[in-house]
């Protein structure tokens, strides 16, 4: 959550380097330095200078979390691409454990 963090000098990682800041009630997360060749599971390529800006905004009554993701990648897209979705709060739901697999290794 250090908006002025100097990530440009850090090595790239698979998921990139992220910084965050608050704009009012909205959490804004900017990710760059991504070392993954694909934008999505279908194989759309991702260029070396791709930047992703995510915005998480709860509704005033707290029942929904709105999300937008703006991808700027001049090597792949002719203009920034914006995707959006939202999640509804369900107090009786339980998040179950998920094993993330990276290059044949299980991570917890």
Q: pLDDT digits over 1-40, tens only?
A: 666 778 888 899 999 999 999 999 999 999 999 999 998 8
Structure tokens at 42: 């279908």
Q: What is the DSSP secondary structure assignment for residue 43, as one 8-state letter?
A: -
Q: How far apart are CA 55 and CA 31, in angstroms?
A: 12
Give the residue-averaged pLDDT of 95-104.
Answer: 74
pLDDT tens string 59-95: 999 999 999 999 999 999 999 999 999 999 998 988 8
**What's this model's pTM, rounded to 2 decimal places?**
0.80
**Cβ atoms of residues 30 and 19 within 8 Å:** yes
Q: What gap in Å lies between CA 58 and CA 86, rounded to an integer?
A: 9
């Amino acid at each position: 959550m250090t908006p002025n963090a100097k990530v440009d000098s850090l090595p790239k990682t698979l998921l990139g380097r992220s910084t965050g800041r608050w704009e009012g009630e909205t959490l804004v997360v900017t990710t760059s330095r991504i070392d993954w060749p694909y934008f999505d599971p279908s194989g759309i390529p991702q260029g070396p200078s791709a930047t992703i800006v995510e915005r998480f905004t709860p509704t005033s009554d707290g029942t929904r979390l709105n999300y937008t993701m703006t991808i700027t990648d001049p090597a792949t897209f002719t203009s920034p691409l914006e995707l959006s979705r939202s999640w509804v709060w369900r107090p009786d739901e339980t998040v179950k454990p998920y094993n993330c697999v990276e290059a044949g290794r299980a991570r917890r």
